[in-house]
Amino acid sequence: EVRLLDSGGGLVQPGGSLRLSCGASGFAITSYAMAWVRQAPGKGLEWVSTISGSGTKTYYGDSVKGRFTMSRDYSGNTVYLQMDSLRAEDAALYYCAKLASVPIFGVLIPSYFDYWGQGTRVTVSS
């Protein structure tokens, strides 16, 4: 059974840092792209970042580019989101998600989020 366990959220001051973790079980993260998606209180879903199955490529949304870093630990089957220079607008519930691929023009592209963690809450406040 596929499971994702998000953790690491908490209260941090503006300008501070936080590292989120997502422990995966039931599959190997070496075979799938993984992502973080966030949801501010009362707001919609926002894609934050993706790491490729090989771990060699990372992609970020415009609102976090240059401040957040996604990485993975193969031995622990865990992905991380290092969040630096946090702002009030980064406050949200952060979900870890597994990506599923579909063929686009003959190439398998990670396209949709088929499994989600339960989310970990990040609060940014002084």
Partner 1 sequence: SYELTQAPSVSVSPGQTARITCSGDALAKQNVYWYQQKPGQAPVMVMYQDTERPSGIPERFSGSSSGTVVTLTISGVQAEDEADYYCQSVDTSGTFYVFGTGTRVTV
Binding site for partner 1 (CB under 8 A): 33, 35, 37, 44-47, 50, 59, 61-62, 95, 102, 104-105, 109-114, 116-119
CB of 83 to partner 1, least distance (A): 18
Between 53 and 124, CB nearer to partner 1 = 53
Between 14 and 100, CB nearer to partner 1 = 100
Between 27 and 116, CB nearer to partner 1 = 116
CB of 89 to partner 1, least distance (A): 17
Task: Look at strands 10-12 and 120-124 and give their pairing.
Answer: parallel
Give Cα separations from 19 to 7, 37, 79, 94 (angstroms): 9, 15, 10, 11
CB of 124 to partner 1, least distance (A): 21
Radius of gyration of the chain (CA): 14
Between 1 and 105, CB nearer to partner 1 = 105
Six-digit token string for 107: 């190439």
CB of 74 to partner 1, least distance (A): 21
